[in-house]
């Protein structure tokens, strides 16, 4: 039983947090939420920042002029060291799908940790088999053989390797503006200079991006696909290993691939002997709302599907799913991943799938995501700085430009807007090649009330620019 002193502390802590949330009359009122964060007695943001600067890689970066010290999360909300609540509209880069610290997922991980935290795939354990079976049931056709990894980068690395082994070809085609990871093969497939080091990246060709907003051919899928055919004819032997793409480019700024493009591109690649890889690291696991996978919105069935992020609700977990025939290529040598498919992560992953179904989060992503997109389009009519609103479900993008005709990226303005939104209690991401796109990828439990609050806060933030 909680002692009286502790109860008084919690009450005082809650009052301070509530006061911080509503400190300004101009700030819209955040939706009610009955969770009280635990008292925090850890190091301050300043102390963590000092240690981070001294002991962690200088390549790490952060949002905001004064980075937040996030100490607790519950559902679609995060709490800082002072107990202040924030609406999370980024979900750890489209990673938290069920909601922060969902009790079903936490309980599954804790129960597995108490019984067996790690063994090895050299022994049998039901957790990995149960999750693989459940995951395969979510995929179409003959996509039913699973290989688990620890991240999306690892998953894409493995998919590219498998395509090259299966076809006997080396050439991979990816799209400009894409991001597929930061290891050797995936950095080659990534097509933004912001994410590429000067190291050997061989055998990758980058096709013109079928971007309906900034692309040279608008939404004309056939014209974009001509470039894929010309790459095959003039940049390869006529035979390729594969084609990798996202249905919606996440890091690239929530860019939707032009309608009709993927079926045509898949046809060209398969005619050249290649495999088609769907990168579902960000768009997968019900985030697009209308379907469970992003590629399904285009009516295609890939040969290999890669996934991570939402697969584990924040657990280090990724996977490659392919057909039994293609999977055989990994038996030619020994291929191993020490932590891929460990009992802890796969038990959590299975719990995530069950929560998505039980709470109908795909349906929620569709209904609330559509509502949010409509409200954002209303903001576009009001604010000249919004050049484009795009995406589907809970994978939405708002691109800021200083000139709608020239589509001049509003790079500084978006940073100021993010600061204003944070001050009013909303956390959102940004991305795109120019860093001028709001990436709105909240947990799938986001509500209409959250959407209204988000739009009201963005409206005020843009009005201050």
Give residue 14's pLDDT: 52
Give residue 1's pLDDT: 44
Length of the chain: 465
Residues of the chain with pLDDT under 70: 1-25
- Considering only the C-alpha atoms of the chain, give the largest distance between any 2 of them, rounded to a whole number of Å: 77
Residues β-bridged to residue 400: 386
Q: Answer whether 0.75 is exceeded by the pTM.
A: yes
Cβ atoms of 258 and 390 closer than 8 Å? no
- The pLDDT tens digits of the residues spanning 7-62 come to 544 544 554 454 444 444 478 999 999 999 999 999 999 999 999 999 999 999 99
The sign one gets for the Cα dihedral 125, 307, 100, 375 is negative
- The pLDDT tens digits of the residues spanning 122-164 come to 999 999 999 999 999 999 999 999 999 999 999 999 999 999 9
Q: Please, is 205 exposed, middle or buried when counting C-beta atoms within 10 Å of its C-beta (0-12, 13-18, 19+)?
A: buried
Give residue 81's pLDDT: 97
């Amino acid at each position: 039983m909680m002692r009286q002193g502790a109860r008084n502390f919690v009450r005082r802590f809650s009052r301070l947090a509530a006061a911080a949330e509503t400190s300004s009359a101009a700030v819209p009122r955040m939706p009610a939420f009955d969770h009280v964060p635990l008292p925090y007695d850890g190091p301050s943001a300043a102390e963590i920042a000092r240690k981070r600067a001294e002991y962690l890689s200088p390549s790490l970066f952060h949002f905001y002029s004064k980075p937040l010290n996030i100490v607790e999360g519950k559902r679609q909300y995060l709490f800082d060291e002072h107990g202040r609540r924030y609406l999370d509209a980024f979900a750890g880069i489209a990673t938290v799908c069920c909601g922060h610290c969902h009790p079903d997922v936490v309980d599954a991980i804790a129960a597995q940790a108490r019984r067996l935290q790690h063994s090895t795939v050299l022994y049998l354990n039901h957790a990995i088999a149960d999750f693989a079976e459940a995951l395969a049931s979510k995929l179409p056709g003959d996509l039913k053989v699973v290989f688990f990894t620890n991240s999306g980068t690892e998953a894409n690395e493995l998919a590219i390797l498998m395509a090259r082994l299966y076809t006997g070809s080396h050439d991979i085609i990816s799209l400009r503006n894409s991001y597929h990871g930061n290891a050797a093969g995936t950095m080659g497939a990534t097509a933004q200079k912001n994410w590429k080091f000067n190291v050997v990246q061989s055998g990758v060709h980058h096709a013109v991006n079928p971007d309906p907003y900034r692309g040279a051919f608008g939404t004309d899928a056939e014209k974009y696909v001509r470039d894929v055919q010309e790459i095959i004819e003039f940049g390869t032997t006529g035979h390729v290993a594969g084609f990798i793409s996202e249905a919606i480019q996440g890091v690239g700024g929530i860019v939707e691939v032009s309608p009709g493009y993927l079926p045509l591109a898949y046809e060209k690649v398969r005619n050249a002997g290649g495999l088609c890889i769907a990168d579902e690291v960000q768009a997968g696991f019900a985030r697009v709302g209308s379907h469970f996978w992003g590629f399904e919105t285009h009516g295609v069935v890939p040969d290999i599907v890669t996934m991570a992020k939402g697969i584990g609700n924040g657990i280090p977990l990724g996977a490659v799913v392919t057909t039994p025939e293609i999977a055989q290529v990994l038996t030619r040598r020994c291929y191993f991943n020490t932590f891929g498919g460990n009992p802890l992560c796969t038990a959590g992953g299975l719990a995530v799938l069950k929560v998505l179904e039980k709470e109908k989060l795909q349906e929620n992503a569709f209904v609330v995501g559509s509502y949010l997109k409509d409200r954002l389009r209303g903001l576009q009519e009001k604010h000249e700085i919004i050049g484009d609103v795009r995406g589907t479900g809970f994978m939405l993008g708002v691109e800021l430009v200083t000139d709608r005709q020239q589509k001049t990226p509003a790079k500084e303005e978006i940073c100021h807007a993010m600061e204003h939104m944070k001050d009013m209690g909303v956390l959102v991401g940004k991305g795109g090649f120019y860093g001028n796109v709001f990436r709105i990828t909240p947990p799938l439990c986001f509500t209409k009330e959250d959407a209204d609050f988000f739009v009201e806060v963005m409206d005020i933030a843009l009005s201050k620019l």
